[in-house]
Structure 1
């Protein structure tokens, strides 16, 4: 399995041990574990860690458990059973058969019964406490997984922005690239964007980090235009500026000459002519 370390560190094995996966997800974990000793070892380590955690945090019941148990059974802890010899009687009264001298055996059986019931109570209490501890551990694991996902998202965003900034610096220092800074128009006065035009091969690049455009909905996207002798020429469309799934740089269509560049908001797929009332940014060469 590719990237097995990332799979082990994803938190899915902890959720499997806690029983918090669907049957299909649990089956997938078991199939992967059957093929990868590292996964089997990790599952065993997680089970052992949770068992140790439960044992270390177990709470022993108080000393009056036996007293309360006797009270529930209607027996006093210091009561003894009466034992005398049996004498047969023939009357309408119920016949009572008394036991021989077996006080020691009865006392032993009674305390054995008490010990069993007390052990059951203790075990039930321990299981209840362990269940609560496991629930707390589950919540902590879920919180850690959420924090891990948020951290991964932040790292991805930082890498994306760092790459864009590095390219901005490289192009600013290069004599082959011209930087066209476009300013906001009445439709979106606070917007801005840079376009990079190669003087040698006439290629055009946009940098997602070096732009701030108005948000679009699912039915619209941005379209880049070059003004050539007073006429708009489409250089292609591009997506949302807040998407880190894009590369920091995107190559657009080449243009041999241009007097200005502009961006409008158009329906998905672009338009033949720009929608001037949605002109967002524009800048001269």
Structure 2
């Protein structure tokens, strides 16, 4: 509905009725008219308005103009020929033909009206040209307004995303701040292995709730490529248990990354696996590991 209203206000329908559009633009208008009844009604209204304008400004000739013209050219009503006049007409046919007299047509009044019509036509053309320029200007301004609205919408979306990110970050930070007050939260620091001694990260594990979360803010791992992911493992009674995969992103929208839950664990480790993860850890690809303190 809003699209049809905006299309009507663009001024393109007046140009369509005046025949000032290209074939492609005409097809566009006809498609919009078929899609939106209000567009078709507006086209009909414009055509009726222009027709009424033409009729309202039409110049009607004077009532006696026809009689004056007929008098000037010597036109008379046909006269019935009587039998006795036929002989006289026959005699006259043998008489020398006199030179025809041409009576000039007095058209000063008629020419005056033509000049008036010409002036009116020129004025209408000028008005039409001004209207067309105004319509194109309005259409251009409408296009600029649409671009500004689009830009404002994009800014609004970016602002909303920023606000959402700040709210989520604030929630995560509050969770981290509250952890020391809950003894069931275990903060496990994972240190780098021989594969990358500088690597490190932090895992939060809630023993009772079984929650496991990775701290993106305290993660120092190389960015993985498109074919590989990091996989978190928990060591439970000497056996590795899969806790899910994750990617390292510099622009992560979450501080805390939730992983799979675990009931008990003696240690946590991270390996580099093919994207999607593995059923068993690749030991020579273990990059960090850390034990759970009692």
Q: Same fold (TM over 0.5)?
A: yes
Residue 195 of structure 2 corresponds to residue 206 of structure 1: no
CA RMSD of the aligned region, Å? 4.1
Structure showing the higher helix proportion among its residues? 2
Q: Give secondary structure in 2 for the equivalent of 1:252.
A: coil
Q: Determine the C-alpha separation between the residues in 2 that align with 1:127 and 1:232.
A: 77
Residue 135 of structure 2 corresponds to residue 135 of structure 1: no
The Cα shift of 1:187 comes to 4.5
Q: Determine the C-alpha separation between the residues in 1 that align with 2:217 and 2:4.
A: 41
Q: Determine the C-alpha separation between the residues in 2 that align with 1:161 and 1:182.
A: 23
| Residue deviations 1:101-136 (CA, integer Å, cap 9, x gap) | 356533432221111101110111001111111111
Structure 2 gap segments, 5+ residues each: 9-27, 37-71, 75-98
| Residue deviations 1:68-89 (CA, integer Å, cap 9, x gap) | xxxxxxxxxxxxxxxxxx7999
Contact kept in structure 1, 2:229 and 2:275, CA below 8 Å = yes
| Residue deviations 1:156-192 (CA, integer Å, cap 9, x gap) | 3222222221111111332221101223445455543
Aligned counterpart, 1:226: 234
Residue 291 of structure 2 corresponds to residue 284 of structure 1: yes
Aligned counterpart, 1:265: 272
Question: What's the TM-score, normalizing by structure 1?
Answer: 0.57
Q: Determine the C-alpha separation between the residues in 2 that align with 1:16 and 1:189.
A: 65
Q: Which runs of 4+ in 1 moved over 6 A?
A: 86-91, 243-247
Q: Determine the C-alpha separation between the residues in 1 that align with 2:124 and 2:209.
A: 89
Contact kept in structure 1, 2:165 and 2:254, CA below 8 Å = no
| Residue deviations 1:2-56 (CA, integer Å, cap 9, x gap) | xxxxxxxxxx95798359xx9xxx9xx98xxxxxxxxxxxxxxxxxxxxxxxxxx
Aligned match for 1:169, one of 165, 174, 177: 177
Structure showing the higher strand proportion among its residues? 1
Residue 113 of structure 2 corresponds to residue 105 of structure 1: yes
Residues 107 and 234 of structure 1, relative CA distance in 2, 3 Å threshold: same
Structure 1 gap segments, 5+ residues each: 1-11, 31-85
Residue 281 of structure 2 corresponds to residue 274 of structure 1: yes
State the number of aligned residues. 208
Flag the structure with larger Rg: 2
Question: What's the TM-score, normalizing by structure 2?
Answer: 0.56
